[in-house]
Structure 1
């Protein structure tokens, strides 16, 4: 969380997580940024500027992109610098009769922002541009089915109801298909793979069989498991795919970056490996995999919750070890720096992040998520 504090408005507006929050209302991005604002109440002006800039670009970019030719990287850097300088100028009153309140985003500044909308295309805004030409990295459900049907007959189940639909697979695995979603799978899993194709959202409970890995193809993302439970969700608006692990271990990778085929590797999990309470969001635009902790981690071992969340002058090493055991999430900290830190508290029903908030306030520390782990920043204890 700390890293975002030092960004400029244009840099924040270019962040994919910030874009998902403001443009698509992604629930996980919303949860993260609402939590970020709680921890960074002094950075509301940064959020305001980045939001206004992103909104203006989103509204104007498509039209300007059709009217102007591509530009060089040097021009992009020059115009971004000019925009940043404009954002930092003192606030001015709008022209008389403009009907606007006292805002930093005056028509003059709006003009500066609009002048660089096209130029920002090389800075990341090309993701927002509507286009009728499919990205070569983007594979749709229809594309996947068309290829699979050439070698195998598939059964398709589409859920047009208002509640989830449970589908039993030939290997006794099950899929809970959510409304407005569909899956395709073969009548029998032959060969050394079990392959399923998804559009929308589904929860998979896979029967364990290390000799025959289970693959889920969702747009341009491949999820591989040997036997576990997890959720896969595709977003049609921005072609993103999200995978959330409930039990076991899952590996994910972009279809364009699939490891070289090797029969000996079929029983191994390659790519980015996820464990319970972790998730990954894949963007096909840049084949980017963003790994993080889920918004509301659950206790994986209920017995720990009943017995081990009561601390009486407990060393922080033991406290963090207890949380790691309960939630299955790595907590990284400087053990030497925190060797004199102790906790006396009774924690029970609080969500994990509230527990961490309380602990960090007690020992004058802070935390952030980094690649699916929790990182503690502390100054030590007297």
Structure 2
């Protein structure tokens, strides 16, 4: 996402912003100070975000994108729906939203999250239950994906800016993992031990099948698209009309985080799953959506010095293309010039 569209929470989840505020990183400092000169209207949100991050006291090396994403994922799950200032997908700003957001988050950080940060970042003493089973985390930053093979033989293609958490040894009754972000699963069959993927309040249960889960914290939806086999999905809090669904090949379950609604429909493989084959697909996309996807895919930041009309009319597919090749195609379609320097893309 382009920082000009950030709200306070978005700034708090930006790794470069963390490096500037918490660690005085020279490159990040230069970027954000220059960016603020170009976008003075965002100074109030930046000031509030800085206060929130400054309230977090951690004594360790710089956090990475995994730790930041995990932290804010926990915050999002712990704050009740009535306290949330912004619902993803409903980005209308209210005059009091920033100050109220800051008050809630600073208080929360000092309280529960203060403890969470200490235990997560500083290796505080764990409970006896957590010591019995070692948990393993595999995280990808923006610009990188990877393949993971679990102890039971399940293969997982983990997308960029995503984290998978799983036990070193599965229990005798179930195989449970946690996902933040997106992954494609090829689950090894084991009728005696269902495979369960937890994504916050939403869970996906299978025995042996292949499917894709898109559950980024920044998205207003969780999507589960089935390629083979059968998948059971469930809203554990059950606030919508439907609390669970069973979906079969070529079907996709869609869970709306804000309303709790759960539905299913057919899906386009190219649109939902082709990422695992290193294919970028845009369908009726505007420039904002394109920039969001490229920033995640290639691990870069964009600076827009030119206004580009928000027309949702760009459709294209790029198969194993470099960032420069993609930008060259976009520059013709949207009539702009670009430069690439130190993972910062400037569009003029």
The normalised TM-score by structure 1 is 0.37
The normalised TM-score by structure 2 is 0.40
Higher RCO structure, 1 or 2 (CA under 8 Å, sep 6+): 2
Structure whose CA Rg is larger? 1
